[in-house]
Amino acid sequence: MSLARGLSLVVSLLLFAAAVVAQEPAENLAPSEVAARVQEIPEGTAGNVRLQRLAEAYQKALADGEAEVATAKEKLETATDEEKPALEKTIADWPAREKRLAKSLEQIVDVMAKRGMDVKDLRVFLTDYGIFAADVDAALGLLDKWFNKIKDWVVDEGPGILAKFVLFLVILFAFKILANVLSKITRGALSASRLKVSALLREFFGNVVGKITFFVGLIIALDTIGIGVGPLLAGIGVLGFVVGFALQETLANFAAGIMILLYRPYDVGDVVSAAGVTGKVEAMSLVSTTVGLFDNQVVIVPNGKIWGDVITNITARDKRRVDMTFGVSYSDDLDKVEKLLNEIVTGHPKVLQDPAPVIKMHQLADSSVNFICRPWSKTGDYWDVYWDIHKTVKQRFDAEGISIPFPQRDVHLYQETEGGGAK
């Protein structure tokens, strides 16, 4: 052993011995060195007392160190430039110092446990510094410590938290009532307005007003109990952006549904032609329209496709004009044809007299002379009038000897003669 190493060992022994006698921690010793020196303390009552006092000294050193760091942090805010380096050094050195003291205390506690001493409280104390031991008594002590902390917290903070929770519920209840009242007022106002808003749109706006009101109440209630709503609103904004991007097609249909309900180009029960579909509207929602086809099929059409296309409401008016065209031969008596059509149209019980039907010779076509026949009927009688008049016209034309020509073409043949002429 070299002379320098021997002198270092002697100095370490003297320092540790002095620490044991003075009941002060030897902070300059590493935890492994502390473990070796503690093993040299003789067993027995006197030795146990020395171990207990040394452990208490390390506990005090840890507590004093934490207090010293806390004081340094407070002073640092108002310290002068000359004082700041020392305070900053105290704060910066503490983590390593704290770890060294806690590990040294752990070595002392391990020796005390081997000698049968009660170390439950010391084990619990070390858990505050991240040092845990597989010891049943220590675990029970830790649970007891946590239980006492929870009990103290409930006693100290419980009444205030209970009061905040009650206030939270009262605010939510009040805004729930307010939301219902405003929702009913909105529905009533839309019903009484001259906009003729559909029932579905009234219900939608009523629900929106109610939910917005309740959401405002929720924000106020959360702020009352100390929960910051800024990050919550920011999170909702980010979530809304992501959802909007992912569901942009659905949101487009939703917006189109709002426009349809607002402007009402059609309603439930109307017969419409839109987005390549013709049928009776059976149901409407904010994202789609359900159309029943005339062959009893059901088609659900997205509102975005309907609003972006031409919408024809076939049953929007209570009267419809029935447009028909009838062709006769060029050799037929045109006055007789017109008179006969007038008799047929005016004699039909479902043809309206006002507006008066229009029957005129309309066109000299390639194979026929065409007459337009335009009577008016109630919307529900449209197809009865159309089919009945076509059938009656065919029967009367046949009976009166009036021909209904079909497309024909005259073909003229020319034959060349020997002299180059044609005949």
- Over residues 405-418, the pLDDT tens digits come to 877 677 777 777 66
When mean pLDDT is compared across 77-86, 114-123, 301-310, the lowest value belongs to 114-123
Domain holding 70, by residue range, is 12-131
Residue pair 263/311 in contact (Cβ under 8 Å)? The answer is no
| DSSP symbols for 94-153 | HHHHHHHHHHHHHHHHHHHHHTT---HHHHHHHHTTT-----HHHHHHHHHHHHHHHHHH
Within-domain flag for 413: no
> What is the CATH classification number for the domain harbouring 147?
1.10.287
Q: What is the reported pLDDT for 53?
A: 85
Is the pLDDT reported for residue 264 higher than 70? yes
Within-domain flag for 280: yes
Domain total for the chain?
Answer: 4
Q: What is the reported pLDDT for 423?
A: 55
Within-domain flag for 7: no
- Reduced to 3 states (helix: H, G, I; strand: E, B; else coil), residue 315 is coil
235 and 288 fall within a common domain: no
286 and 303 fall within a common domain: yes
372 and 335 fall within a common domain: yes
> What is the CATH classification number for the domain harbouring 257?
2.30.30.60
Task: Give the end of a domain, one of 107, 131, 155.
Answer: 131
176 and 259 fall within a common domain: no
307 and 382 fall within a common domain: no
Within-domain flag for 341: yes
pLDDT band at residue 55 using 50, 70 and 90 as cut-offs: confident
Span 291-307, average pLDDT? 92
Output the average pLDDT for the chain.
80
Q: What are phi and psi of 26, to 5 degrees?
A: -90, 85
Task: Give the end of a domain, one of 131, 155, 182.
Answer: 131
97 and 26 fall within a common domain: yes
Taking the CA atoms of residue 192, residue 197, residue 198 and residue 204 in that order, the dihedral angle to the nearest 10 degrees is -90
273 and 339 fall within a common domain: no
Is the pLDDT reported for residue 136 higher than 60? no
Q: What is the reported pLDDT for 1?
A: 46
127 and 35 fall within a common domain: yes
Task: With residue 361 as reference, give the H or E element that holds it.
Answer: strand 358-364
Residue type for position 419 = G
126 and 20 fall within a common domain: yes
Q: What is the pLDDT of residues 137-174, one digit of tens each?
A: 556 555 666 666 676 666 666 677 778 788 888 888 99
141 and 241 fall within a common domain: yes
349 and 376 fall within a common domain: yes
Within-domain flag for 353: yes
Span 69-89, average pLDDT? 84
300 and 341 fall within a common domain: no
Would you state the structure tokens that stand for residue 3, as one six-digit string? Answer: 């002379």
Task: Give the end of a domain, one of 113, 131, 149.
Answer: 131
- Report residue 5 CA to chain centroid gap: 71
pTM for the structure as a whole: 0.46
DSSP symbol at 366: S
Q: What is the reported pLDDT for 422?
A: 54
Within-domain flag for 411: no
Within-domain flag for 420: no
Span 62-69, average pLDDT? 84
> What is the CATH classification number for the domain harbouring 343?
3.30.70.100
Within-domain flag for 415: no
Angle 199-224/248-263 helices, nearest 10 degrees?
120
| DSSP symbols for 20-32 | HHHT---TTS-HH
Q: What is the pLDDT of residues 316-353, one digit of tens each?
A: 889 999 999 999 999 999 999 999 999 999 999 999 99
